[in-house]
Amino acid sequence: MGQAQTEPAVEDGGTWVSWNGNCAHSFDQKIKIRSEEDIVRAVSTAQSVRMTGHGQSSADIVAGTSVLLDPSDYDRVTGFDLESGEVTVQSGIRLKELLRFLESEGWTLPCLPDIDTVTLGGAISTGTHGTTGGAHPLAEYVVECRLVKADGSVVTVREDDPAMPAVRCALGVLGVISTITLRCVPLYHLRVEEEAIADVVWKREYRQWLNEYDFVRIIWLPHTGYGWVVRGTRIQADTPVDEVAAPSRVSKRREVSRALYAKTIRYPRFTRLANRILKWLFFSHRTVAKGTLYGATVTKSRGSTLELAEWTVDLDRFDDLFAELVDGLESRDNNAYAHIPMDIRFLDADQTWLSNAYQRPVVTVGCVTRNAEHADSYEAFELVENLFLKHGGRPHWAKRFEAQAVQLKELYPRWDDFLSLRETMDPSGKFLTPYLRGLLGV
Ligand SMILES: Cc1cc2nc3c(=O)[nH]c(=O)nc-3n(C[C@H](O)[C@H](O)[C@H](O)COP(=O)(O)OP(=O)(O)OC[C@H]3O[C@@H](n4cnc5c(N)ncnc54)[C@H](O)[C@@H]3O)c2cc1C
């Protein structure tokens, strides 16, 4: 006997709040969708609607419409082709569920961000990425998706569709992504070595490492003269590795960081000493581990909130930019002292119109404050943004930045094409919010 389709759960009136509390918007309705039909019905009838992910973006790109679609029950794997390794999922699936499924089938994604609690819909819509190994943002691995357009019709966008490079990373303004098919790769293992390496050394060597290693990430430790370098080499699953574990005190890093950085709200200069203490306590050892890309390189627990910015610059301009970045952050003429870590990662050129790596290999540099609620007065964000804009850098769509359409337009060769497509697909601006109107200049 067929199961009767019930109406989705609806919350009438409320406030949507992002994971760290820095973005909040009231809504008239929040609909917990469970099927594509639920999305179609909601989009057809609403004047102003967006799909949320897990709300882990720092930029105000999630809510702000009267109707919100909550995908937490729209999270299943709906198809998997063992021959080609293509997996089809509902867009609300969290990365950790997807990766567990893929690993159980002997597959994985080519490149992973350092967070597994995000939804796939949210991750691809913002250009979420990992590092090296021919790395691209997750969006680049989308081979097909079903998109619910503003008029409620559904289109299947395939890899060879001229709109695919726009749809792949679209900040939710072209439509609601219903299902996503991703191209996967056979599961592989890495030997991962982590250690602190002096800035003078890693700056000299990193280009060579990009050729030698399958995984390279530099967790830069500002104000210490060191980076925590993570390098991985592909190995067979049965290759023996002499593992070296981290000392037990490392488990206290977040706790100690939180306590030290709380003082930097009033005394930004204290950051220099705090970072040196953190380096000495938690980044002076060496570890060797073996695991899958997911198992060995992705952080699994998120005990505290933080606020993030991240910028991308052409690989060829990185060395000059980095020298200026160190000068700016070290200068005693400003209060732009930066917390640990500043994450340096590497992406190959891709073809996605709003990707940070559109048609050029890039280096991405993160900037973080552990005091999320005081992010507005964290001067490092402003210094980093000004410097990257000066070097033609592009911001991570999901993270904090101030640049608006007039500056962004110059950074993306297909900006106008993207806006024309948006106008055609959503002429009434159903998927827009005040923040997105400013960002896109609509
Ligand atoms: C601790 C932490 C670590 C992080 N690490 C990384 C990292 O390593 N690399 C990296 O690149 N980023 C990283 N990020 C950023 C993160 O990946 C993005 O913010 C991501 O978008 C969050 O996913 P989400 O499910 O929370 O999406 P949300 O923040 O909820 O949504 C993001 C956007 O996607 C839209 N959206 C969501 N689902 C759909 C859909 N189905 N159809 C259309 N639009 C949709 C939303 O409306 C919104 O505009 C990190 C963030 C945090 C907090």
Q: For residue 374, give the 3-state DSSP assignment.
A: helix
19: domain CATH number? 3.30.43.10
Mutation probe of ligand 1 site: the residue of 20, 50, 56 with most atoms within 8 A of C-beta = 56
The C-alpha atoms of residue 53 and residue 91 are separated, in whole angstroms, by 9
Q: Above pLDDT 70, what percent of the chain?
A: 98
- CA 118 – ligand 1 centroid, Å: 6
Q: Is residue 1 pLDDT above 60, yes or no?
A: no
Does 95 lie in the same domain as 55?
no
Q: What are phi and psi of 226, to 5 degrees?
A: -135, 155
pLDDT of residue 268: 95
- CA 138 – ligand 1 centroid, Å: 11
Other C-beta atoms closer than 10 Å to the C-beta of 28 total 15
Q: For residue 200, give the 3-state DSSP assignment.
A: helix
The C-alpha atoms of residue 15 and residue 24 are separated, in whole angstroms, by 7
Residues, the chain, total?
A: 442
- CA 347 – ligand 1 centroid, Å: 18
Residue 36 CB–ligand 1 contact under 6 Å:
no
Does 197 lie in the same domain as 178?
no
| Domain with 141 in it | 77-186
163: which residues sit within 8 A by CB, 6+ positions away?
157, 174, 421
Q: What digits encode the pLDDT tens for the residues 109-145?
A: 999 999 999 999 999 999 999 998 678 999 999 999 9
Q: Is residue 49 part of a domain?
A: yes
> Atom 44 (ligand 1): residue with closest C-alpha?
172
Does 253 lie in the same domain as 122?
no
Does 333 lie in the same domain as 283?
yes
Task: Reply yes or no: is the peptide bond before residue 268 cis, omega within 30 of 0.
Answer: no
Does 99 lie in the same domain as 202?
no
138: domain CATH number? 3.30.465.10
Does 302 lie in the same domain as 257?
yes
Q: What digits encode the pLDDT tens for the residues 5-35?
A: 688 999 999 999 999 999 999 999 999 999 9
Q: How many domains does the chain have?
A: 3
Q: What digits encode the pLDDT tens for the residues 142-195?
A: 999 999 999 999 999 999 999 999 999 999 999 999 999 999 999 999 999 999
User: Whole-structure pTM over 0.75, yes or no?
Assistant: yes
Residue 297 CB–ligand 1 contact under 6 Å:
no
Q: Is residue 147 part of a domain?
A: yes
Q: What would the mean pLDDT of 61-70 be, rounded to a whole number?
A: 98
Residue 51 CB–ligand 1 contact under 6 Å:
yes
pLDDT of residue 90: 98
